[in-house]
């Protein structure tokens, strides 16, 4: 999920079932770094992943008890798999490099996919769209790229 959505590890580990709305994951402002709601378009592969998860409480991924996993769960899993030089946050960096080097999506679309703050305060005040449809195509292309790797 972290790789497919290019999301921050904490966003994924604290994701709740109530945030999934069809093929969109709506992360509330209080869980976002920039304190703004972020809609994440889910590729069919991400939806499939979620469909196959058991629903054991409010969180998508459950740690000990009924709360979210340990904040280091993703990096710990990478280390158990022998990838000691990787970080979970590095998935976002890989997405950013791929999108910049291998696609023609505008920088704004890529940055919004990463939920980065882009432009001056004036530009942001006039920007009314989160470019969800363009980001949905971008995330599908990313999912296709991952499946081919």
Residues 108 and 43: their CA atoms lie apart, in Å, by 20
Residues 37 and 18: their CA atoms lie apart, in Å, by 14
Catalytic, 38? Answer no
pTM: 0.89
Q: What is the DSSP letter of 17?
A: G
Q: Count the Cβ atoms, other than its own, within 10 Å of residue 87.
A: 13
Of 8, 38, 39, 136, the catalytic one is 8
Domain ranges in the chain are: 2-148
- Torsion angle, alpha carbons of 88, 119, 143, 60, to 10: 50
Catalytic, 33? Answer yes
Catalytic, 89? Answer yes
Of 72, 79, 83, 89, the catalytic one is 89
Superfamily of 2-148 according to CATH: Intergrase catalytic core (1.10.443.10)
Q: List the chain pLDDT tens, one digit each, 149 residues.
A: 999 999 999 999 999 999 999 999 999 999 999 899 999 999 999 999 999 999 988 999 988 777 788 888 888 889 999 999 888 888 999 999 999 999 999 999 999 999 998 877 777 667 778 899 999 999 999 999 999 98
């Amino acid at each position: 999920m972290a790789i497919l959505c290019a999301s921050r590890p904490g966003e994924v580990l604290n994701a709740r079932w109530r945030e999934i709305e069809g093929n969109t994951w709506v992360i509330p402002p209080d869980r976002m770094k920039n304190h703004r709601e972020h809609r994440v378009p889910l590729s069919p592969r991400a939806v499939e992943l979620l469909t196959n998860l058991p629903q054991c409480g409010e969180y998508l991924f459950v740690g000990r008890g009924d709360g979210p996993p340990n904040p280091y769960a993703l990096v710990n899993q990478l280390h158990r798999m022998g990838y000691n030089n990787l970080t979970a946050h590095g998935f976002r960096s890989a997405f950013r490099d791929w999108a910049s080097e291998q696609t023609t999506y505008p920088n704004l679309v890529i940055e919004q996919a990463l939920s980065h703050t882009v432009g001056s305060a004036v530009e942001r005040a006039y920007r009314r769209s989160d470019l969800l449809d363009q980001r949905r195509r971008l995330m599908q292309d990313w999912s296709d790229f991952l499946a081919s790797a």
